[in-house]
A and B are shown apart, each in its own frame.
Chain A
């Protein structure tokens, strides 16, 4: 999309071909040709016409020309694998332009802009969500800004090394031990050379043997000792840095805004905490030290070999580049083969766990034979992948050793020739072979380490992305500290959308007096929970203002405000711990008597006491050892103990039976006394006593009043009541 002064020249020419000197207000390009093939067409709003051009030919061809004044609405029709922008003209829907999912966001913005113009508003600026790399255009999605293609490895590495700053002493020690162990590792071949040349070849100097053997033993011991020491420190350091990163990440995650969580699935966040943090540990504890050790070893050995005999050194090094290239290529093949095997193993596990989990159903429908068939197919698939992976590995390693061995063969051949002509000693040949063996493993490592290091750096960048994300505290620096809240709430012309181009709430205005109960009613997806999300200040309103006790909510200090809120949700959330700990979650200093008093009011005391461990009963992970109604009452007890001035009940009785609902209703009745309460309820009868009901439809308030007023009105609420009454009758009959 572009403003008229950024219109490409060919587009301008095309538009002016049909509308001379037109004011081009917006242009949007599709990635599909009119016939559905990948190609290009574009939509332009020029003067008062909506124009669509195909731009696949030499000159753009006009496909559609609609008077914009006739368009009453613009819609996006979701197709399979793409979508189409359509205009509603005289009640008819007219296809304008099709596009693939790649362009969905862009056309979402076009729809908003066109709709705004239809409503007579000025062309709005619509936030463009960056889903592509700004540098190379690679699609990144919404969940990351890290482009693996453009990753600046140097900068990431520097920042990563910054994490080791608190441990500089240990890093220096690791570096010193590394150098020491390399030097110690280079001593034995030299001593071996002396042993061969000065003792074994001459057959004299027997007194030297003891010193040389002692030297070999000392070098071996020093090398091993320093390696052990270095490895132990590296292991400590790696774990410590990983610990630090996970701690920083977790702390950051607690303060990140809800918008961040909306755009980052839980699985992605967990993988930041686990896989990415481990990737960094691997890099710092293993990959980087290995890299340094191996590079230094290769350089040091090369220098020594060249110094001993440069001609033989060059000959010995001939296979090394081949080894390096081969390892790089074959390692990729090997990795792919094992990944493939691992993927099939995962699918195989999925099949088995799925099949065993539904064994009763399988038997009930006599499907054992088909299950065996499915299993055999996956098993065969896994077998083939295993054979390929093992066969590849079985070919890779012998080939590698052959090439490694070829270096030794060259040394034997040319070394022997030189020896015969008196160029070098026998000891030197032996030392050459030993030094050569020292660089073969480092070369092998270097061959496949690039990808390992790149992956770890990408992981590090993803971790930094979370650490750098804007936190709630940064977004919500309200100045006003609320000591006490009376509970007056006012929404004034509030508009909001989770995505800026999709408004969920439109022009919402209402006022609730302190201590009143407000019921929110409407079908799913009409914006009831969104009103509550704004009250909790999980999000800030895009338009209008929310006031609490007359103070604009965005000026209120988040921490002082949230402490005055109490929430009971449809899905009661308990954490692993005792019943008492769960009730006292928001008030850890509560006494056992406070906790029991709250539980009593919440109709929870009796069931808690009847548990073997009473208030010390472990509720299990997510409270799974309690029933739905029990969990809900523990949550209500939690809210009672918290004693909030503002209470939010979001479908608190949606998933319980009638008897439990009655108990919960009683508990809620006691809870809401004297508190401003916002309630969403699936069962409309539970809102009968609300001071005011707001009926929502498509993000707007369509009716408001008391239960009796709205019932008498015979509007949307009355219709919902009727549906509810009929459903309850069916439920009662079924029950």
Chain B
């Protein structure tokens, strides 16, 4: 079995962990992102997906690719998992970081600026790492969930997600407003 076959078959039979030193991510002259694994296989339009996007942001990145013959934007095949993507070379690391930033559109909530209740529908204003945002919450008791003791994940009526990493870090007014939401 040659190296290239090994890379491909790993996706269907067993998990393949990629050595960060074998993975190179670069932007081509056409502006698109490419990923080469073990100098053998170049993945077109690679997708980097976190295996544990809520509980472990730093480890386990799935490197996937869309095969040219595929007609729709599917998740693509997994070419391998990166246990520690921070060990990628700096250039690759920067591109992967940007791709992750693009894919995961969570907003981290720093403060809850206002909450207004309209018969069970709450309209809140969040100050987030992506800027200010007015969000509408319905069925909050199902859409505001505690992950562990102090982390709260809020999903608004439109399906957008807001992450309060540590409620204890919120200012007293925001904490009071969070209690109102709940």
Q: Are A139 and B157 CB-contacts (below 8 A) given A38-B128, A346-B141?
A: yes
Asked if A81 and B160 make an inter-chain contact with CB atoms under 8 angstroms apart, the answer reads yes
The answer for the CA separation of A140 and B157 in the assembled complex, in Å, is 8
The answer for the CA separation of A458 and B68 in the assembled complex, in Å, is 52
Which among B68, B106, B149 is the interface contact of A80 at CB below 8 angstroms?
A: B106
- A148 at interface by CB-CB < 8 Å: yes
Across the interface, name the chain B residue whose C-beta is closest to A149: B118
Which among A37, A343, A698 is the interface contact of B131 at CB below 8 angstroms?
A: A37
- A609 at interface by CB-CB < 8 Å: no
- A93 at interface by CB-CB < 8 Å: yes
- A281 at interface by CB-CB < 8 Å: no
Asked if A101 and B179 make an inter-chain contact with CB atoms under 8 angstroms apart, the answer reads no
Which among B68, B105, B121 is the interface contact of A81 at CB below 8 angstroms?
A: B105
- B87 at interface by CB-CB < 8 Å: no
Which among B73, B132, B159 is the interface contact of A101 at CB below 8 angstroms?
A: B159
Cβ contacts under 8 Å, A670 to chain B: none
Across the interface, name the chain A residue whose C-beta is closest to B53: A80
Asked if B102 and A141 make an inter-chain contact with CB atoms under 8 angstroms apart, the answer reads no
Asked if B120 and A82 make an inter-chain contact with CB atoms under 8 angstroms apart, the answer reads no
- Annotate A207-236 by CB proximity to B: 1 below 8 A, 0 otherwise: 000000000000000000000000000000
Q: How many interface residues does B have (CB within 8 Å)?
A: 40
Q: Are A92 and B130 CB-contacts (below 8 A) given A32-B105, A36-B102, A80-B105?
A: no
Q: Are A81 and B161 CB-contacts (below 8 A) given A37-B131, A39-B131, A75-B73?
A: yes
The answer for the CA separation of A75 and B123 in the assembled complex, in Å, is 32
The answer for the CA separation of A340 and B159 in the assembled complex, in Å, is 23
Asked if B32 and A148 make an inter-chain contact with CB atoms under 8 angstroms apart, the answer reads no
Asked if B105 and A343 make an inter-chain contact with CB atoms under 8 angstroms apart, the answer reads no
In A74-90, which residues have CB < 8 Å from any B CB?
Answer: 75-82, 84, 86
Which among B102, B159, B180 is the interface contact of A336 at CB below 8 angstroms?
A: B180
Cβ contacts under 8 Å, B32 to chain A: 92-94
Smallest CB separation, A452 vs chain B (Å): 10
* Dominant SS among interface residues on chain A: mixed
Asked if A100 and B123 make an inter-chain contact with CB atoms under 8 angstroms apart, the answer reads no
Asked if B45 and A102 make an inter-chain contact with CB atoms under 8 angstroms apart, the answer reads no
- Annotate A666-687 by CB proximity to B: 1 below 8 A, 0 otherwise: 0000000000000000000000
Q: Are A79 and B141 CB-contacts (below 8 A) given A138-B123, A340-B182, A455-B120?
A: no
In A403-453, which residues have CB < 8 Å from any B CB?
Answer: 451
Interface centre among A102, A336, A454 (most CB of B within 10 A): A102
- A257 at interface by CB-CB < 8 Å: no
- B174 at interface by CB-CB < 8 Å: no
Cβ contacts under 8 Å, A336 to chain B: 179-180
Asked if B121 and A148 make an inter-chain contact with CB atoms under 8 angstroms apart, the answer reads yes
Smallest CB separation, A353 vs chain B (Å): 17
Asked if A148 and B104 make an inter-chain contact with CB atoms under 8 angstroms apart, the answer reads no
The answer for the CA separation of A86 and B45 in the assembled complex, in Å, is 12
- Annotate B98-111 by CB proximity to A: 1 below 8 A, 0 otherwise: 00011111110000
Cβ contacts under 8 Å, B101 to chain A: 36
- B88 at interface by CB-CB < 8 Å: no
Asked if A343 and B106 make an inter-chain contact with CB atoms under 8 angstroms apart, the answer reads no
Cβ contacts under 8 Å, A346 to chain B: 141
Cβ contacts under 8 Å, A57 to chain B: none
Asked if A75 and B72 make an inter-chain contact with CB atoms under 8 angstroms apart, the answer reads yes
Asked if B141 and A343 make an inter-chain contact with CB atoms under 8 angstroms apart, the answer reads yes
Interface centre among A81, A93, A94, A100 (most CB of B within 10 A): A81
Which among B102, B120, B182 is the interface contact of A148 at CB below 8 angstroms?
A: B120
The answer for the CA separation of A75 and B71 in the assembled complex, in Å, is 10
A contact residues vs B (CB 8 Å cutoff): 32, 36-39, 75-82, 84, 86, 91-94, 98, 100-102, 104, 138-141, 148-149, 151, 336, 339-340, 343, 346, 377, 451, 454-455, 458, 698
B contact residues vs A (CB 8 Å cutoff): 30-32, 45, 53, 66, 68, 71-73, 101-107, 118-121, 123, 128, 130-133, 136, 138, 141, 149, 156-161, 179-180, 182
Q: 27 A–B contact pairs at CB < 8 A?
A: A32-B105, A36-B101, A38-B132, A39-B131, A79-B103, A79-B105, A80-B104, A80-B106, A81-B105, A81-B161, A84-B102, A93-B73, A94-B32, A100-B158, A101-B160, A102-B160, A138-B121, A139-B158, A141-B138, A151-B119, A336-B179, A336-B180, A343-B141, A451-B119, A454-B119, A458-B119, A698-B71
Further contacts, 9 of them, CB under 8 A, given A80-B103, A81-B107, A454-B119: A36-B102, A39-B131, A79-B102, A86-B73, A93-B32, A100-B158, A141-B138, A455-B120, A698-B71
Closest 3 interchain pairs by CB?
Answer: A81-B105, A148-B118, A38-B131
